[in-house]
Structure 1
Amino acid sequence: MGHARAYLTFDIMRRILEDYFNYHVLFQVNITDIDDKIILKARKGELMKQYRSKSTSLEEAKKNASLAFQKRKSKLDAEKMAAEARLSGETAQQLQAREKEEAQNALKSNELFVQQLQEAEAKVSTASSTAEVIDSCSDFLADWLDESLGHTIEDKAVFNQHSRKYEEQFLQDCASLGIRDPTVITRVSDYVDEIVTYIDAMMKQGSAYNSNGSVYFDTSRHKQSHDYPKLVPSAGSGQTDAELAEGEGALGAKFEGEKRHRNDFALWKASKAGEPRWSSPWGDGRPGWHIECSVMIKEIHGPRLDIHGGGADLRFPHHDNEIAQAEAFHECQQWCNYFTHAGHLHIKGLKMSKSLKNFVTIRGALEAYTARQLRLMFLSHGWDRPLNFSDQSIAEARDKESRLNSFFAV
């Protein structure tokens, strides 16, 4: 539903432009099917598939589950201590607002993760079959398996099949919500050659540099002639740890000694074992997240863009980095005229997130509510502000729908 809010928001904007102002809109949707989160998810899915196919005894399954729980507990304890340390004493006084909010959200998320772990432990303790054990703790097992066996999954078909499966579901969900089809859909896997050419041009300009088979964008050099970052100027003093991790991806290398500057970001990543790879002048690897969108936009829209959209969490570093590399490549001071960022959808005070497992699926929502009711719920709140998904918000939407039906005698 978090994604639904963003795409319904942009569908409403598009309909106003097309139907009210009679603009011709070339609406492009980028499918970033080469992405660290997708690689990890596909890899874990394949490992779990293999694990389920083995003849594992109930005793062994419970033992493995216990090891997986212990591993996650250690990680959660370390993350909690780190967040608490940042919010205490002199350290807290030195934090920027963004950093303080990140630490506070990290503690809330940690509490939810601990609760989920305890629930899984309880289910495993009473499980009477291997299948029941696996079903009760599949996410924890997947993480544990990936740590030791992730490097063995290298078949590109595994990653491609995963992407195509969820792309198809996404498009079906959009249709169910009454969202108009995009004019064009672009997939990163179809544009790797163009991405390599784009990066090579930036290296020749001096905007990027090669380091150990990966290519990075030189943010310090860029700031000599351009404003960076533009969307979140307060981030100019440096990325927070969370922003750095989000920008470089879950499979990003440890960058000590590899990047010239902390804020530099990957345009091309040297692939390690267990990661899909494509050939390039710098060695086998894959595109970085930020460069993917800039290149696909260029291939469809050319050197300038009118409107760019996304969720509020993409402002920095993703969209700011898109702007930087596009302005460097096109040698301009303004690449995109307008950025629109849809507000997050929250539930119980936290952003809906797959990692937190506090989300409502579009299909689940449509079993209880109509697409019109969901659209009215989003229309009733500022499109760029956070919205809490609750019984009250949907009840208000139902009331508005009833009033409109009465007015139009439907």
Structure 2
Amino acid sequence: MLMNLLEFVVSEYDSLAALVIFLIVVVVTLFKWEYRLPISIIGSSILLMLNLLNYDDLLRYMNFNIVIFLLGMMVIVGYLEENNYFTYLISKIIKYMHGSGYRLFIIMMFLSAFFSALVDQVTAILFLSALSFELSSLYETDPYPLLIAILFSIIVGGTATVIGDPVSLIIAFQGNLTMTDFLHWAAPITLLTLGVLIIYIILIFRRHVRGLTKSMESKDLVSVKSVLMSNQARNVGFSTTILILVLILIMLHGYIASFLNNYLGFSLDSNTTLMLAPLIISGIVLSKDVELGRRIIIHRVDWDTLLFFVFFFIIVGSLDKTGILLVFRDIIIGYSGESIFKMFLLVAFITGLLSIFVANIMTVATLAPVIKLLYLKGLYVFPIWWAMLFSSVYMGISTPIGTTASLVLLGLLDKRRVERIPLHTWMKIGLPIAFISTIFALLILFLWFF
């Protein structure tokens, strides 16, 4: 089957050019993450110059629904951050963590997973890593164990909802999955996996946790709260309202689309309704304080990442335009014999393996259109979407480059001029739990679907 792909690529100039450009972009992004945007722009430009894509193709493959959804969420989360809303929430529960290292780790891990599912993993790691450094400094302990615990919990927690992880978002749009689908099928597995992760982390860092408890005994709760409340929260009521409102709209977007179409004569699909939810709320947020809104747009929106998604989606689109994705589809069918179970295992293996070496968002952005082609061929792919989600995200824990949150954390460590976690240390901790979590999640999916 692989020979069929090679023969097809060699015989078709357009396919060969598209594949070479795609591989160059992936390799440069893998080894030089900071150059991801320039190389994706150059790659897209070359595709246009070679006439492999035209203007209509750009609009078709940009996946603006995903990008606009992310833009809206970044504006909303940026507003909450500008008003110190997340610090306010933490200050309300710090009393439950103080006094026990075990309690602090367990609550912080649950909190990390919750924030990741609630807003997104990038925002969660930006906020909670800063909090981790503050707590570690306050209690005079090594920050790395808590950082790792928080990061892994954020990665796991992001699989619970559509908005928790860019991978979840891509799968939701490509597979036409709703927030209700995620809460029904993904959230229970996420919660169970988080329990496994907490036990694993506590066992790995038990000596550090015991030392943290001793350090806490020398600190009083008032001094800890004063550090957290040094930046006073503002507009708490409005912030709570918009957060709850956008979550309700996202959770009910499928039902809202059906209501608008059936009773008011609209013709909206659920993906459009999902995109509109944060977009409308972000417009309200920006209009509340124009000057603050300008700061949010400039400083809180991650334009590098958004534009990278646009141009990388275009490059993946060239693989579709030149027929390479169809060949991948036929390879999967050939190896699985149209057996859904074999397809389930094959997709899980491929996405999991690639996500160790390549950022999982790139893996899923490339392979999700292939699964969609299987669906368009009439195959039942519902379990395969979940296999792709859990294998790509959980195996991404293995290395520092496997997930978006990991890459963001590396950048934060560089900004703070803090030494990075050595690769062998990361893999020693990450690889076992990555395998355990992935197998655990796939086993539950197997029991549900097969």
TM-score by length of 1: 0.23
From the two aligned structures, give the one with the greater strand fraction: 1
Is the helix fraction higher in 1 or 2? 2
